[in-house]
């Protein structure tokens, strides 16, 4: 683990022509974005190397913009992630942005790993739990204290599995009655179900730890669910703690991840990556092309909404949804190129703002590439990349069918 004493200025001076790009998710809540910038400033003080902050979405600067700003100033950039676990942002979105930067700028770019499992994070969680115990007036050494570690939840099994691993490591060697992993969204078990199940063991106290960086919508939801449980089960004192915030121990983890990337010693969980191996229930995600398409689609997934209090990661319904089959047969006939041409044509249009996504098999193998437009219920067949401009200009812009491509009308 890195400490300020272990990273003196003399060591940093060897990296005069290098910068670090700290990549956060991005939020419409400027407080969360400022947290990433504060961490970037702290990391710069720690390593004595220039550190800029960038965001995947919803905030500025974007990763592309940050690379463009750094390119005239340095020859080497190391990307350090704020992501807690390796889900699609780490596996797809950031690598895609890095490849674009490598193709555009004369930069050597090292890509670091996510924060992951780290002793400093376990120490931080232990302290967060101790703070809640103090507020509740309980002591894990004499009382039955249960801990609920609550992550955001992901569609990636690696990320969800690491939450369970972190929970187990927090339990090991500590006098907790139990430590259970749970999630506030996307996957199960939900925090509500976990707390209700916990009540059967009748602990003296339930300490709920939001495993997130920022204090926003999701952390407040965790507090609300915990308060509801506390009111429903008066024999269990329950209270939610604070997220990770800008604790200086995060800088220890960032410094280690920087060193790993800089020395080409980054390790990723490739043996259980849903994009690399067949995992039960995730077979359709296997393959680099699918990962790339998912990353390209996600960049435009979040609509420009003002109010994100209810569900910050839901996506507003588009006026039109265009599904392009990228299953094997259609892919062999050129549907990936068609997908990107449609997206580019839609971006160039000032008349429409559709959601254009890939689809698995639409059941018209041999008649493709297939394109389905909803809510209109129009299916186009034998569509080539050269037809993308017509579909956008006629159908999406003006609600006029491209009649020679119509396969069926539902």
Each residue's pLDDT tens digit, 14-25: 456 899 999 999
Report the residue count for the chain: 410
295-323 pLDDT per residue, tens: 555 555 544 445 545 555 555 556 788 98
Q: Does the pLDDT at position 11 exceed 60? A: no
Higher pLDDT, 264 or 208: 208
Under a CB-based contact definition with an 8 Å cutoff, are residues 228 and 193 in contact? Answer: no
Return the structure tokens found at 368.
Answer: 């493709």
Tell me which residue has tokens 């400022």.
Answer: 34
Lowest model confidence (mean pLDDT) among 96-100, 302-306, 377-381 = 302-306
Query: Which tokens belong to 274?
Result: 């849903």
145 close to 180: Cβ distance less than 8 angstroms: no
Q: Which residue do the tokens 């550190």 mark?
A: 51
> Looking at per-residue confidence, does 311 or 38 come out higher?
38
pLDDT in tens, 128-142: 999 999 999 999 999
What is the predicted pLDDT for the residue at 1?
44
All domains of the chain in start order, with CATH: 4-114+249-272 (3.40.50.1400), 119-240 (3.40.50.1400), 317-409 (3.40.30.10)
pLDDT at residue 348 greater than cutoff 90: no
The answer to whether residue 238 scores a pLDDT higher than 80 is yes
274 neighbors 285 (Cβ within 8 angstroms): yes
Would the pLDDT of 279 be above 70?
Answer: no
Q: What integer is the mean pLDDT of 373-387?
A: 91
Residue 92: which of 81, 106, 76 has the closest Cα?
81
- Cis ω before 344 (30° cut-off from 0): no
pLDDT at residue 155 greater than cutoff 90:
no
Which pLDDT score is estimated for 382?
Answer: 93
* pLDDT tens profile 176-196: 999 999 999 889 999 999 999
Planar angle of CA 362, 366, 367, nearest 5 degrees? 70
Compute the distance between CA of residue 75 and CA of residue 105 in angstroms, rounded to an integer.
9
Count of CB atoms within 10 A of residue 185's CB?
A: 16
pLDDT given at position 3 = 44
| Inter-residue contact 362 to 328 (CB < 8 Å) | no
87 alpha carbon, distance to own chain's centre: 6
Q: What is the pLDDT of residue 116?
A: 94
* Angle value at C-alpha 183, between 181 and 185, nearest 5 degrees: 170
Q: Could you tell me the two tokens for 193?
A: 């179900």
Strand partners, 182: 150
Of the ranges 67-71, 88-92, 332-336, which one carries the lowest mean pLDDT score? 88-92
With 60 as the cut, is the pLDDT of residue 29 above it? yes
How far apart are alpha carbons 387 and 382 in whole angstroms?
10
Select from 297, 292, 296 the least CA-distant residue to 321: 297
Examine the pLDDT at 381 and tell me if it is beyond 50.
yes
Residue by residue, DSSP assigns 163-232 as: HHHHHHHHHTTS--SEEEEEESSSSSSBHHHHHHHHHTT--SEEEEEE--SS-SHHHHHHHHHHHHHHHH
User: Which class for 32: exposed (0-12), middle (13-18), buried (19 or more C-beta within 10 A)?
Assistant: buried
Identify the pLDDT of residue 214: 87
Q: Beta strands of 8-138 (E only): which ranges?
A: 18-24, 51-55, 76-81, 108-111
């Amino acid at each position: 683990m890195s400490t300020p004493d272990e990273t003196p200025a003399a060591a940093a001076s060897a990296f005069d022509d290098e910068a670090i790009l700290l990549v956060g998710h991005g939020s419409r809540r400027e407080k969360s974005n400022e947290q990433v910038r504060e961490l970037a400033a702290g990391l710069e003080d720690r390593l004595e190397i220039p550190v800029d902050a960038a965001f995947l979405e919803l905030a500025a600067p974007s990763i592309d913009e940050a690379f463009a700003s750094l390119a005239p100033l340095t020859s080497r950039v190391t990307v350090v992630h704020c992501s807690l676990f390796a889900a699609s942002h780490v596996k797809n979105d950031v690598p895609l942005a890095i490849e674009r930067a490598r193709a555009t700028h004369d930069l050597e770019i090292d890509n670091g790993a996510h924060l992951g499992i780290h002793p400093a994070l376990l120490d931080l969680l232990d302290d967060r739990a101790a703070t809640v115990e103090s507020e509740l007036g309980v002591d894990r050494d004499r009382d039955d204290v249960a801990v609920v570690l609550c992550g955001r939840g992901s569609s990636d099994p690696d990320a969800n599995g690491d939450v369970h691993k972190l929970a187990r490591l927090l339990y090991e060697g500590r006098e907790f009655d139990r430590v259970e992993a749970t999630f506030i969204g996307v996957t199960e078990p939900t925090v509500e179900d976990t707390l209700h199940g916990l009540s059967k063991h009748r602990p003296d106290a339930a300490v709920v730890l939001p495993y997130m960086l920022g204090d926003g919508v999701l952390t407040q939801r965790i507090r609300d669910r915990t308060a509801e449980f506390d009111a429903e089960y008066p024999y269990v004192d329950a209270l939610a703690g604070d997220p990770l915030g800008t604790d200086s121990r995060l800088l220890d983890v960032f410094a280690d991840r920087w060193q790993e990337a800089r020395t080409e010693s980054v390790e990723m969980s490739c043996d259980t990556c849903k994009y690399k191996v067949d995992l039960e229930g995730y077979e359709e995600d296997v393959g680099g092309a699918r990962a790339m398409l998912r990353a390209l689609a996600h960049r435009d997934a979040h609509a420009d909404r003002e109010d994100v209090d209810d569900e910050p990661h839901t996506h507003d319904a588009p006026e039109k949804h265009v599904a392009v089959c990228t299953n094997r047969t259609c892919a062999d006939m050129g549907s990936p190129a068609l997908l990107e041409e449609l997206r580019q044509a839609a971006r160039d249009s000032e008349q429409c703002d559709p959601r254009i996504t890939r689809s698995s098999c639409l059941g018209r193998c041999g008649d493709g590439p297939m394109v389905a437009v909803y809510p209109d219920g129009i299916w186009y067949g034998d569509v080539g990349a050269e037809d993308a401009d017509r579909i956008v200009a006629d159908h999406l812009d003006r609600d006029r069918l491209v009649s020679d491509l119509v396969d069926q009308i539902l």
